[in-house]
């Protein structure tokens, strides 16, 4: 606590007791860079105060030097394993993560970008109590997104959470190109809103974002459209445009965590099986040198996306909603909108823009119709109606 008081004294110029009428000494959460304490402002508002460990700034540069040296040793001992990109990413991202003002700006930017999603909550930043080493925000209650028992206890629909999380990330990746890259369960809370009793997702820790350039984002959109449909020519074409070369089949499997057989059939058409998971884990070990080579080939933007995909897939696995049709439907909608918007922006002809908009509407209608068909197939009420009709006597 003395270190916490020292950082607050140095950065905010006041004693902790002058700023907060209550400050929990036990951290509400702790990690390698900082820890979070629950506190109460003089006006009675409850806030979360994220305080950076005082030695992190000085130590981080030494850590990167040590990491670089160790990875060079590994590469010398095992030439097939080239992981120097880890050092490059750490050099680029760690200074950003250590600047809490940057995290606050990211939080406000993504809250504005995704303001249409009423179920998404981003805690409000208190700028008068924030510095590069201190971030003060509204305190958010909730259970972690992987806590099925919490959801059961509070009447939260697991499928709704998974679907809404997919909507958030599809919008970030395919439409906005501004992606929260640390969606581990501690940073994604779920809760019932006390006023409306509606389910909400709270997104925390906005220090690590990836900005996708337009060409990369559009190629990534088209690649996912090809993966969902099982369009092998499209998979090859857009994977190669993302730098994979002849390793495009491996890239498709890494990106989707599906076997090449499932990729061939279209990942939206084939459910995930236990035997396929075993096959993937086995192949991950067998093809480690090729995976290392692949990671060195792809654009650096892809690395954090792969990490984000992996964390989201882990959440879906725990929630038992992995490879659900709703996630592919959300992705398809966002990809369709993103590509249509790009074509409209490029077109100077009004009639051409109109045709693009009509084509977009038709594609979105097809997706809506497909979603309706899936709902009808799974609806218990519809099955009962069909059953009752089948029991009616036929007229003579």
Annotated catalytic sites, by residue? Answer: 182
Could you count the other beta carbons within 10 Å of the beta carbon of residue 21? 12
Cite the DSSP H helix spans in 78-187. 85-97, 100-113, 148-153, 158-170
Cite the DSSP H helix spans in 323-349. 325-346
Q: Are strands 178-180 and 143-144 parallel, antiparallel or unpaired?
A: unpaired
Residue 15 sits at φ, ψ, to 5 deg, of -75, 150
d(CA 357, CA 354): 5
User: CB of 229 within 8 A of CB of 220?
Assistant: no
Compute CA distances 205 → 31, 101, 184, 232, 261, whole Å: 11, 12, 10, 37, 37
User: CB of 187 within 8 A of CB of 337?
Assistant: no
d(CA 130, CA 189): 23
d(CA 350, CA 297): 40
Beta strand ranges found along the chain (DSSP E): 22-23, 29-30, 34-40, 46-52, 120-121, 134-138, 143-144, 178-180, 188-192, 199-203, 209-211
d(CA 241, CA 174): 17
Compute CA distances 238 → 217, 219, 232, 386, whole Å: 11, 6, 10, 44
């Amino acid at each position: 606590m003395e270190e916490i008081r020292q950082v607050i004294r140095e950065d905010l110029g006041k004693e902790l007791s002058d700023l907060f009428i209550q400050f929990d000494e036990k951290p509400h959460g702790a990690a390698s860079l900082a820890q979070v304490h629950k506190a109460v402002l003089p006006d009675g508002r409850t806030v979360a105060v994220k305080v950076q460990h005082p030695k992190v700034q000085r130590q981080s540069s030494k850590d990167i030097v040590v990491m670089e040296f160790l990875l060079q040793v590994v590469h010398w001992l095992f030439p097939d394993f080239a992981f120097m990109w880890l050092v490059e990413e750490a050099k680029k991202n760690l200074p950003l993560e250590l600047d809490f003002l940057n995290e606050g700006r990211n939080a406000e930017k993504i809250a504005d970008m995704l303001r249409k999603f009423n179920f998404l909550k981003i805690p409000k930043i208190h700028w008068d109590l924030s510095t590069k080493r201190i971030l003060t925000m509204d305190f958010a209650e909730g259970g972690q997104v992987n806590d099925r028992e919490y959801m059961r206890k509070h009447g939260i629909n697991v499928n709704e959470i998974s679907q809404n999380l997919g909507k958030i990330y599809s919008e970030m990746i395919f439409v906005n190109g501004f992606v929260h890259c640390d969606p581990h369960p501690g940073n994604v809370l779920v809760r019932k809103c006390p006023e409306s009793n509606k389910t909400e997702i709270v997104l925390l820790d906005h220090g690590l974002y990836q900005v996708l350039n337009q060409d990369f984002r559009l190629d990534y959109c088209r690649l996912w459209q090809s993966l969902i449909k099982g369009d092998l020519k499209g998979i090859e074409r857009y994977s190669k445009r993302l730098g994979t070369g002849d390793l495009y089949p491996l890239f498709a499997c890494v990106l989707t965590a599906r076997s090449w057989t499932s990729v061939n059939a279209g990942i939206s058409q084939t459910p995930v099986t236990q035997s396929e998971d075993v096959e993937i884990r086995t192949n991950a070990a067998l093809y480690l040198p090729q995976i290392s080579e692949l990671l060195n080939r792809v654009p650096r933007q892809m690395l954090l996306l792969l990490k984000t995909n992996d964390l989201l897939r882990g959440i879906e696995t725990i929630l038992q909603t992995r490879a659900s049709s709703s996630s592919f439907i959300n992705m398809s909608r966002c990809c369709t909108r993103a590509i249509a918007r790009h074509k409209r922006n490029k077109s100077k002809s009004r009639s051409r823009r109109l045709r693009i908009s009509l084509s977009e509407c038709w594609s979105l209608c097809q997706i809506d119709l497909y979603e309706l068909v899936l709902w009808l197939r799974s609806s218990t009420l519809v099955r009962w109606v069909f059953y009752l009709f089948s029991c009616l006597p036929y007229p003579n």
